[in-house]
Amino acid sequence: MQDKETQRQVAITSQPPVARMIEDIVGCKWSLAVLQTIRNRILRPGAIQRSIEGISTKVLNERLTKMVRYGILVKESYLEVPPRVEYRLTKFGEKFLNILDQIEMLQKELLALKKSSDH
């Protein structure tokens, strides 16, 4: 059985490049909504699903699983009855969201430039 540090190192070395992660997350309309919901402190899967109109349980679980695999989120399971699961941003996930925020700001700047050149 591997200790947590060994598991973490294996996870880090098996991750795709950050550019691929950005492409995958930005290319999925649901991933951005899931990340924004978690950023707003809605952490439990059922609450996340209720907060995002139209997302199915299957798609939500696929997105959460992928973001855990990428190291953007961490899944915390609590030994309670009934069982409770929460997802939180990792330190890497916080940095990743900062990159996505910068992309959004750049997009807004480009739109503003386009509007000003159209007049």
| pTM of the shown model | 0.79
87 closest CA partner among 104, 71, 108, 110: 71
Report whether pLDDT(12) > 70: no
Domain ranges across the chain: 4-118
Contact 46, 56 (CB under 8 A): no
Check residue 11 and give its pLDDT: 55
Contact 64, 75 (CB under 8 A): yes
Distance from C-alpha of 25 to C-alpha of 15, rounded to nearest angstrom = 14
Provide the CATH topology of domain 4-118: Arc Repressor Mutant, subunit A (1.10.10)
Band the pLDDT of 22: cuts 50, 70, 90.
Answer: confident
Band the pLDDT of 13: cuts 50, 70, 90.
Answer: low
Bigger pLDDT: 14 vs 17: 17
Check residue 73 and give its pLDDT: 97
Read off the amino acid at residue 17. Answer: P
Helices H / strands E in the chain, number of each? 6, 2
pLDDT tens column, 76-92: 999 999 899 999 999 99
36 closest CA partner among 85, 75, 72: 72
